[in-house]
Structure 1
Amino acid sequence: MRVSLVLLCLLAFSFSPDRPAYRIYDARLKATTYAKLLRQAADADVVLFGELHNNPICHWLELQLTKDLAAQKKGNLVLGAEMFEADNQTALSNYVEGRTTGAELAKQARLWPNFDTDYKPIVDVARELKIPFIATNVPRRYASLVSRQGLSALDTLSPTAKSQMVPLPLTVDLTLPGYQAMLEMMGGSGHGADTKQANPHSGNGDMAANFARAQAIKDATMAHFILQNLKAGQTALHFNGDYHSKNFEGIVWYLRKGRPDLKIMTLSSVELADPDKPAGENRALGDFVLAIPADMTKTY
């Protein structure tokens, strides 16, 4: 009997405990469940899923949340994503509405390299269930233009080009922590809420400010197209890089600027050495924090 107990103890300690692929926490880093996340998402006007672009757990959970919200909202769900730019809306809609094939979509739209593995499963759910899918991002050439020359360069664009972004002029508050961090990373400094444009060749600080403004034109455009396509009673589920909605900034700031009454839920994704022990720095990144093992395999 004593030998058997010893063997049982040895066996118990010879196996590692379960290794979950993710943990979910609330904003205070209290452990919570997917079921609670789903309930809150179904009650929200806008859900911003802040993903890590190459993380398979993010993409898998996005797919599950899409399916589950579709079942709960019963026709009152609209999808949107940073990964599709506004000038590709026709190509995306044609595919989702069954008028074209995947091969035609690939020819007609600028798809991310990881589209087939990471985003196509979600788009295919939209196609199957007839869920509207909105291309919310500003065309990258215009964000690049802002990065090089500042927001004033957008004034020279055609009416068609301007229809593919947030209405101008755009106010950018460079004192917001997210934009401020970008400025500090690039050796620049913020100049407050403004629409003034400095000479991009006059110093590193001006180049850094324009880089932050390019981020802001993306955030503002995504918020604009979410609001433009959201109807009463619907939930908009939007997929974007975590930085665009982390700390309730970026897209969230522009959504609240346009609709202060909007009920917004955010999820922020982080990779941690030990998902069971999130550090204080992960507190309040979003309404929910998705903690994933740092050594999780990547999709690219």
Structure 2
Amino acid sequence: IDTVLKAADAADVIFLGEQHDDAVGHAFQAEVFKRIVEKNAGRRQVVLSLEMFERDVQTVIDEYLAGLISENHFLLSSRPWGNYKTDYRPLVELAKEKNLPVVAANAPRRYVNMVSRGGRSKLDGLSKEAKSWLPPLPYNEASAEYAKKFKALMGPSAEAQMGIDNILSSQSLWDASMAYWISESLKKHRGALVVHLNGSFHTEGRLGTVEQLLKYRSKTKAVVVTMLYESDFKTFDPAKHSNLGDFVILTDAAVPRSKR
């Protein structure tokens, strides 16, 4: 962890790429965030940014952090993931305790679904308010390398390939949204360190969200941590694990998973 923290000192953003049900990975994330907060207390603003909350609930998060609404109403209104209480609540509560900003970085899922069904042009018909929850339109396309990786993940099935371009566009909306709101946070909080949590695919190999961030803010210094669970977690396989991130953390696949 000390090596990761040292790298974060020289960065604007540290991406913690998780497997969403990896209990060990979540424990690692919580410890990294806690120690970053402790290390930077009184000297550098720390911002927590989360894929797990959609942009249209930012006001709800802000109201909760400010103590204006109860945790019960926060949870009722913010559409938290099923594993929020075990895996993300500790970080949000620490941010609340230390008066740190928390960013709802993801695009609203209903609009991601709209793109996957009908293409990115469908977003043009949204209201001004709805568009305010998205990155500026038109958002950037996926890189050729990221598109190749995504299509390989989707597999060769005819059904998947038939709508692959729209599905890739919806994936890129996720990436662009997270990247845009990170860039806006760095603009708002000069000199801050953003700690961003996301599914590892979004940032593996410095692709996806990392690429999109550099389009919004070209000089951003980013550290990418990728966490994967493996049955043989004590063995680093260069052919499999190299180039997935600046740091690759292998966790024990035998440990019971978080329940989403």
Deviation at 1:275, TM superposition (A): 2.1
Are 1:174 and 1:209, in contact at CA under 8 Å, matched by a contact in 2?
Answer: no
Are 1:188 and 1:209, in contact at CA under 8 Å, matched by a contact in 2?
Answer: no
Q: Does 219-228 or 206-215 show the bigger shift?
A: 206-215
Q: Indicate which of 35, 40, 54 corresponds to 1:85.
A: 54
Match of 1:183 in 2: 151
Higher relative contact order (CA 8 A, sep 6+): 2
Code of the aligned partner of 1:162: K
Q: Indicate which of 132, 156, 173 corresponds to 2:142.
A: 173
Task: Describe how 1:245-256 pairs up with structure 2 within 5 A.
Answer: 245-256=203-214
Could you tell me how far apart the structure 2 residues matched to 1:188 and 1:163 are?
36
Count of residue pairs brought into register by the alignment: 253
Match of 2:25 in 1: 58
Deviation at 1:175, TM superposition (A): 1.9
Change (3 A) 1:233 1:174: closer
TM norm structure 2: 0.93
Code of the aligned partner of 2:151: L
Unaligned 5+ segments in structure 2 are none
Change (3 A) 1:249 1:174: closer
Are 1:267 and 1:288, in contact at CA under 8 Å, matched by a contact in 2?
Answer: yes
Match of 1:147 in 2: 116
1:236 has 2:194 as partner: yes
Match of 2:104 in 1: 135
TM norm structure 1: 0.81
Q: State the Cα deviation string for residues 14-54 of structure 1 (Å, max 9, x = none).
A: xxxxxxxxxxxxxxxxxxxx111111112210110001111
Deviation at 1:71, TM superposition (A): 1.5
Deviation at 1:97, TM superposition (A): 2.0
Are 1:95 and 1:105, in contact at CA under 8 Å, matched by a contact in 2?
Answer: yes
Q: Indicate which of 154, 159, 162 corresponds to 2:131.
A: 162
Task: Describe how 1:201-216 pairs up with structure 2 within 5 A.
Answer: 205-216=161-172
Could you tell me how far apart the structure 1 residues matched to 2:84 and 2:69 are?
17
Which entry has the higher C-alpha Rg, 1 or 2?
A: 1
Identity %: 32
Code of the aligned partner of 1:64: E
SS in 2 for 1:183: helix
Match of 1:101 in 2: 70
Q: Indicate which of 47, 51, 57 corresponds to 2:14.
A: 47
Q: Segments of 4+ in structure 1 off by > 3 A?
A: 186-189, 203-206
Unaligned 5+ segments in structure 1 are 1-33, 190-202
Q: State the Cα deviation string for residues 68-94 of structure 1 (Å, max 9, x = none).
A: 111222251011000000000011111
Could you tell me how far apart the structure 1 residues matched to 2:226 and 2:109 are?
24
Q: Indicate which of 100, 113, 120 corresponds to 2:82.
A: 113
SS in 2 for 1:226: helix
Change (3 A) 1:146 1:130: same
Q: Indicate which of 17, 35, 39 corresponds to 2:2.
A: 35
Code of the aligned partner of 2:121: S
RMSD (Å) for aligned C-alpha atoms = 1.6
Match of 1:122 in 2: 91
